[in-house]
Structure 1
Amino acid sequence: MSADVSNALEPWQIHGERTLYDNRWVKLDLVDVEPPGVKRFEHHVVRLQHVSIAAVLDDQDRVLMLWRYRFVPQTWGWELPGGIVDEGEDAHSTALREVEEETGWRPDSLKHVVTYQPMVGMVDSPHEIFVGCGATQVGEPTDLEEAGRIEWVPLADIPAMMARGELMGSGTLVALLHLLASRGKSAAPTASA
C-alpha cells in the first residue's frame, strides 16, 4: 500500500480501556473503540510478553532446533530456541541467552531480521526474529522446563517437516521461512559470514 493511500485513511479512535485480567504472563483489556464510519464498540485485546526467537545455522547448513512437547495443543514438535524478553533486557540479549539456556550452545553472533505481531487483530505480542551462523557448545541446557531433544536439523529437511506439521509456533515458521527464502541471496546468513 502506498503512503498516499494510508495517509488518506483514519485510525480507529480509542475512547478508553479497562483491564479485566492481569498477571505477569497475560493481560486482558476491554477497549472502547470507534473505527471510521462504524458505530463505537468494545473490543477485547490480549497483551502478551515481548518474545525473541533465534535461528542458528552451522557450517553444514543445519539449524539448531528443539524437539519438545507443548501441553496446550497436546503435541510434540520442532521449535527454535526463544523466550520472553525480561524487563531491562534487549531482544538481542534475550535471543543469545535463550539459545544457550535451552540448548547448551552459544551463538557466535545473531542479526535481527524482523519484528512482527503473530495475531495482530486481537493480540499484542511483539516477536523479534534473529538469525546467525556458528555456535560453540558451552555445556548442557540449563532450562530444564524447555528440555527435549536438541538437534542440528538440515535446512533442506524443513519443507518436508513443515508439510508433515512438525514445526510449532509462528516464530519458528517465520524464522525458517526467512532462511529458506534467503538462500542464495547476498542477504542470507552463511557460515563464512
Structure 2
Amino acid sequence: MRLGKADITTPSGNRFEHHTVTLSPAAVIAVLDRDEEHVLMSHRHRFVPDVWGWELPGGLVDQDEDPERAAVREALEETGYKVGAVETVATFEPVIGIVRSPHHVFVGKDAELVADPTESDEGDYEWVPLSDVHALICSGKVQSSGTLVALLHLLGN
C-alpha cells in the first residue's frame, strides 16, 4: 500500500490537494463447471466490514505477474480446480475517486479437480447453481465488487 498526495488543478482552474491510496492489483475468476450451470463459490466472513458473503476465488496479483495467470493460480490454490479456457471480462477500479487498485475479472471454463486446496483460510468452496446467483445478489449475500462484476457478466450472457 502506498499513500500519496496530489496537487490537482481542475478544468475550471480550482486547485487543491487530494490524498491518494495505491493498492496492489487484484484478480478474481468465476470458475464454471463443464456444463456451465454452476459456479464455484465460497461462503466466508470478512472481518473489516464484519459480514458473511459469497465470493469467487481471487487475490492479489504478484509483482510482474500477468493478471490472468494470477486468477488461474488463485483458483487452483483456493479450490484445487484447474481451469481450461479463460475469458477476460473486465478491468475496473472499485473506488476510482480515491484509490488506485485495478481489479481484473475473468471467467474460467472446463474446470477439473486436480489437487487439494493449498490455502485453508478461504472458506469452503461449493458449486452454486447459476440459477441461484440472482437471488444471492439481490439478498445482499454478495458483497465483493469483483465477484459482483463476474456474476453479473455471467447472468447477462
TM-score, length of structure 2 as denominator length: 0.95
Deviation, structure 1 residue 74: 1.0
Structure 1 residue 139 corresponds to structure 2 residue 115: yes
Measure, in 2, the Cα distance between the counterparts of 1:132 and 1:98.
12
Q: Which stretch shifts more, 166-175 or 106-115?
A: 106-115
Do the aligned residues in 1 keep the contact of 2:36 with 2:109 (CA within 8 Å)?
no
For residue 40 of structure 1, what is the aligned residue in structure 2?
15
For residue 77 of structure 2, what is the aligned residue in structure 1?
101
Percent identity (aligned): 50
Measure, in 1, the Cα distance between the counterparts of 2:97 and 2:155.
27
Structure 1 residue 55 corresponds to structure 2 residue 30: yes
Deviation, structure 1 residue 60: 5.0
Q: Deviations 1:95-150 (Å, cap 9, x if unpaired)?
A: 1100010111111221112111111111111111111222111222111232x121
For residue 49 of structure 2, what is the aligned residue in structure 1?
73
For the residue of structure 2 that corresponds to 1:152, the secondary structure is strand
Number of residue pairs matched by the alignment: 156
- Equivalent residue in structure 1 for 2:5, among 21, 26, 30: 30
For residue 187 of structure 1, what is the aligned residue in structure 2?
none
- Equivalent residue in structure 2 for 1:127, among 98, 103, 122: 103
Q: Deviations 1:132-187 (Å, cap 9, x if unpaired)?
A: 222111222111232x12111011101111111111210000000011011xxxxx
TM-score, length of structure 1 as denominator length: 0.78
Measure, in 1, the Cα distance between the counterparts of 2:37 and 2:64.
34
Structure 1 residue 154 corresponds to structure 2 residue 129: yes
Unaligned runs of 5+ in 2: none
Ranked by relative contact order (alpha carbons within 8 Å, sequence separation 6 or more), the top structure is 2
Name segments (4+ residues, structure 1) moved above 3 Å.
Answer: none
CA RMSD of aligned residues (A): 1.1
Unaligned runs of 5+ in 1: 1-25, 183-193
Do the aligned residues in 1 keep the contact of 2:93 with 2:100 (CA within 8 Å)?
yes
For residue 139 of structure 2, what is the aligned residue in structure 1?
164
Deviation, structure 1 residue 38: 3.4
Structure 1 residue 92 corresponds to structure 2 residue 53: no
For the residue of structure 1 that corresponds to 2:121, the secondary structure is helix
Structure 1: which amino acid aligns with 2:146? G
Deviation, structure 1 residue 46: 1.1
Measure, in 1, the Cα distance between the counterparts of 2:53 and 2:16.
39
